[in-house]
Structure 1
Amino acid sequence: MNVTSATDSTSKSSSSTSSTTSTSSTGVDYNTFLQLLIAEMKNQDPTNPMDTSQYMSQFAQLSSVEQAMQTNTKLDALLSSQSLSQADGLIGKTVSFTDSTGATFTGKVASISINSDGSIATLENGTKVAVGPGLTIS
């Protein structure tokens, strides 16, 4: 989308390319997109108007990005739910692991906590163990 600033006094023919498919948390939402679209329509050159198919294409891209973001949010919730279900099955089980120094530890799982880095099992003696490769469950 070519957008020229309404307050740009340097040149009316200069334009900048703006991408509306940002995936950051401060991305462009529908209202902002529509405001930009209206500003672009108001400030376009009447002797050389923009193609309306470009507007529709940009709106379709924005819509697909919005749907992908919603899908990712729902997938994250589903994965968290699955992690909680699996964690429940570990409580009371005996686990053994070898730490980075080569020492081997064994204990019963008292609780499980799930954070963004993964699941952490807390043993009855207070030792915290990352649930993952190298953990033996019996």
Structure 2
Amino acid sequence: MNVPSATETTSKTTSTGSPTATSSNSVDYNTFLQLLVAEMKNQDPTNPMDTSQYMSQFAQLSTVEQAMQTNTKLDALLSSQALSQADGLIGRTVSFTDSTGASFTGKIASVSINSDGSIATLENGTKVAIGPGLTLS
């Protein structure tokens, strides 16, 4: 049985016939099972691995996979919550003071969400980061 390295770069051919290089930096469930089967096939028959160790490895992998799925679902939930909050800001009036001390007031026309947070665009085109120091009305 040919067991690939968990982090080795492999070359695959796409449907158009052009090769693409893919890299896997994590061990998925199938790779783990392949490694486990290879370990079982190549173990010393006079001193086999304890079955509780196998079960422990399965449990650890299962726990990590569930944690990764939970993180993915939490990210989606946080994005959904941010969109809901952004929707509630559109049409509201915001007042703020910038770093130079100038005061601005305007109606929020749109809100964009990126990795740094939410940015409100006012009707006059001014962009302001949603955060402390804003007054909404």
User: Per the shorter chain, which TM-score range?
Assistant: 0.7 to 0.9
Partner Cα separation in structure 2 for residue 109 and residue 85 of structure 1? 15
Q: Specify every segment of 5 or more residues in structure 2 that has no aligned partner in the other structure, as ranges.
A: 4-23
| Amino acid across the alignment from 2:135 | T
More strand by share: 2
Q: Which residue of 1 aligns with 2:63?
A: 64
Q: Which residue of 2 aligns with 1:15?
A: none
Q: Which residue of 2 aligns with 1:55?
A: 54
TM-score by length of 2: 0.76
Cα displacement string for residues 11-62 of structure 1 (whole angstroms, at most 9, x for unaligned residues): xxxxxxxxxxxxxx83211100001101111222222221111111111111
Q: Which residue of 2 aligns with 1:10?
A: none
Q: Which residue of 2 aligns with 1:122?
A: 121
Q: Which residue of 2 aligns with 1:12?
A: none
The answer to which structure, 1 or 2, has the higher relative contact order (CA under 8 A, 6+ apart) is 1
Answer yes or no: is 1:35 the counterpart of 2:46: no
Cα displacement string for residues 83-135 of structure 1 (whole angstroms, at most 9, x for unaligned residues): 11111111111112222333322211000111222111111111111111111
Partner Cα separation in structure 2 for residue 47 and residue 127 of structure 1? 75
Task: State the aligned residue count.
Answer: 115
Runs of 4+ residues over 6 Å off in structure 1 = none
SS at match of 2:132: coil
Q: Specify every segment of 5 or more residues in structure 1 that has no aligned partner in the other structure, as ranges.
A: 1-5, 7-24
Partner Cα separation in structure 2 for residue 54 and residue 109 of structure 1? 59
The 5 A counterparts of 1:1-138 are 26-138=25-137
SS at match of 2:113: strand
TM-score by length of 1: 0.75
